[in-house]
Amino acid sequence: MGWKIGPIWQCLNMAKKRAIPVKWSKLGREKSHGFAHGRDFIELDQRLHGKKLLEILLHESLHIELPHLTEGQVERVSIRLTHTLWRQGFRRVDNTQGGRMQDGSV
C-alpha cells in the first residue's frame, strides 16, 4: 500500500487518550453510518449493530488515528480488520476485562 512508517508512528504518538470518545446519534438524514470529528470524537448511528457496527467503528477510528490515509485505504483496512476480528469471534456481548493492553492500560 506504500505506507510510510514515520507518519504512522507520529499519528499514533499524538494520541493522548486511551479511548476515542463515541457519540451515538440517529444519522439517517446525513445518509451516513458514522463520522470522525477531527481528532476529537466519533459519531455513530445508534441503529448500527453486529458486524457493521464493528466495521464502522474501526473505519472512523482509523480516520482519527491515521488521518493521512486516503478514504480507500481506510476502507480497505477497516474491512480487513472487521473480517479478521469477526472470524475470531469478537462480538459486543462480553464486557469483562480480559487483562492489560500492550501499553499497560486496562
Query: Per-domain residue ranges for the chain?
Result: 11-87
Per the listing, cell 462480538 goes with 91
pLDDT number for residue 18: 80
Residue 46's pLDDT is 94
Cβ-contact 56, 79 below 8 angstroms: no
Taking CA atoms, 43 is separated from 16, 35, 102, in Å, by 19, 5, 26
| Residue, of 81 and 38, whose pLDDT is higher | 81
User: Is residue 70 scored above 90 in pLDDT?
Assistant: yes
pLDDT, residue 93, reads 73
pLDDT > 80? residue 94: no
Is this model's pTM higher than 0.85 or not? no
Q: Are 85 and 53 in contact (CB under 8 A)?
A: no
Instruction: Kindly report the average pLDDT of the chain as a whole number.
Output: 84
